[in-house]
């Protein structure tokens, strides 16, 4: 195989490995359950799935800007003002999850899950996510896990 072709194939593999991912509902449910979110701090798996849908559309690469200069990152839209450090912003962060925000935008959501666990241990719990409060709180959420064979 020609050296140029080998280099291109290797580069293509690297790019594929670092891309973001858009989960489907049941696929995400299985990943979250496997990583201990089902009933974590008394929060149902359906609550997590509903919140992730309304925050990011299950897209690990989702990023939203806020008027205060912070950004929300990843599948759970974790905020750079409190939970992670955004190297591209001049603003300071509490960085309570002790991580770089860019790590929340890849297809490996293990770090996102660990930070979400940290977030819900605070008094606001799931109330830290506005979309959860508007769309999921006090709702029948069974449809979010229906048919997922958990």
72 catalytic per annotation = yes
Q: How many Cβ atoms are within 10 Å of 94's Cβ, its own excluded?
A: 12
Q: d(Cα 73, Cα 78) in Å, to the nearest integer?
A: 5
Which entry of 47, 59, 72, 112 is annotated as an active-site residue?
72
Q: Which two tokens stand for residue 13?
A: 């593999």
* β-bridge partners, 79: 72
Which entry of 55, 59, 86, 112 is annotated as an active-site residue?
55
Q: How far apart are the first and last CA of the chain?
A: 45
Q: d(Cα 150, Cα 146) in Å, to the nearest integer?
A: 9
Max CA-CA distance within the chain?
61
Active site residues: 55, 72
């Amino acid at each position: 195989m020609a050296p140029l072709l080998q280099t291109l194939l290797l580069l293509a593999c690297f790019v594929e490995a670092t891309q973001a991912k858009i989960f489907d509902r049941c696929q995400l449910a299985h990943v979250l359950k496997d990583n201990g979110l089902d009933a974590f701090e008394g929060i149902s798996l359906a609550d997590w799935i509903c919140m992730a849908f309304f925050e990011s559309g299950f897209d690990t690469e989702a990023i939203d800007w806020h008027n205060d200069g912070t950004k929300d990152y990843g599948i759970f839209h974790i905020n750079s003002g409190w939970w992670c450090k955004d190297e591209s912003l001049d603003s300071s962060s509490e960085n309570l999850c002790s991580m770089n925000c860019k790590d929340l935008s890849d297809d490996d959501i293990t770090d996102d899950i660990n930070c979400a666990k940290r977030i819900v241990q605070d008094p606001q719990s799931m109330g830290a996510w506005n979309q959860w409060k508007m769309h999921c709180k006090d709702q029948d959420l069974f449809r979010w896990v229906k048919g997922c064979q958990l």
